[in-house]
Copies of this chain bind each other. A is one copy, B any other.
């Protein structure tokens, strides 16, 4: 096969919504895209803030200010009913620091979020945490002055926190609320070596991404991971007629299906049903036998219990495929 076209994407405007915003780039199936992402608050690798005039702005309304996105990328020949396969080739961290944060009204314990203040809740003490990243060794370090341990050093595992296409039904969604289109799933598995399959809902797909995390635990309990910047390399493929209802992922070892919903149990149901459907449609499994095997060998990860929609991933080991 011929060498793919590589596009270097330098966004002028960063968007805070997933939707058919004016494309920043047009590509074809098989092309490669390389782009530098800003962190969840818009800082770049030098910690320079994102200038106001480069943020998605409309004089008539305000935007949720988390997760500025690179894109959108318009994929020629991507039509509703197709799948956009996003092969994550590399995520190169580009800054020796990441920050995390406890916000007063966000996170698993508060149950709150932008636009959803529960006025009787105690605010969580607002606090920023500055992690130093040793990119050569692949670790992050945080001083803990109030704890006996004094500091921790944790392995880094960079991944894309927010990546999706324009949503279904003409919806435009914030970069904070994942859904049937992907979005802010905070999925550890969205890393180099994984292919992400996204349903195409709007012709052109309108892929956008950002919010790279250097590390994160399950659930993203405090609401914020190790937020940093990266250079992301993706290869994009259109799979015609492979209609999906929800995102999926695949790597060397697992088939994975995603549900994004509230309540969490619904996200779990969606993910597991999609995984069974995949086993039936593509791997010759009988539906009920697939349910039995999945029930005994499947694993489940809960990436996010903090966003307006929660995320669940159901995973099936490929060693049990024919």
On A, residues with C-beta under 8 Å from B are 16-17, 19-20, 56, 58-64, 80, 100, 102, 108-111, 114-122, 124-125, 127, 129, 140, 142, 144, 146-150, 152, 154, 166, 168-174, 180, 201-204, 215-226, 245, 261-266, 268-270, 272-273, 276-277, 283-286, 288-302, 305, 310, 320-322
Contact = CB atoms under 8 A, between A and B. Distances in A.
A85 B295 CA distance: 30
22 contacts: A20-B60, A60-B203, A61-B170, A61-B201, A62-B169, A100-B296, A114-B169, A117-B245, A119-B277, A120-B122, A122-B122, A144-B286, A147-B322, A149-B284, A152-B297, A215-B296, A215-B297, A219-B295, A219-B300, A221-B272, A221-B291, A225-B296
A133 B80 CA distance: 41
Given A119-B277, A171-B173, A264-B265, A147 B290 contact: yes
Given A102-B288, A225-B296, A219 B118 contact: no
A302 B149 contact: no
A217 B170 contact: no
List 10 A-B pairs, minimum CB-CB distance, nearest first.
A148-B284, A122-B122, A146-B286, A217-B298, A60-B203, A218-B300, A172-B172, A222-B295, A149-B322, A61-B202
State the oligomeric state as a number of copies: 4
A105 to B, nearest CB: 12
Contacts of A295: 100, 216-217, 219-225
A135 B270 CA distance: 35
A232 B150 CA distance: 41
B298 A218 contact: yes
A95 B234 CA distance: 50
A184 B300 CA distance: 19
A122 B104 CA distance: 12
A322 B289 CA distance: 47
A282 to B, nearest CB: 10
Contacts of A117: 245
Contacts of A122: 120-122
A19 B289 contact: no
Nearest to A223: B295
A66 to B, nearest CB: 10
Contacts of A58: 170, 202
A283 B295 CA distance: 36
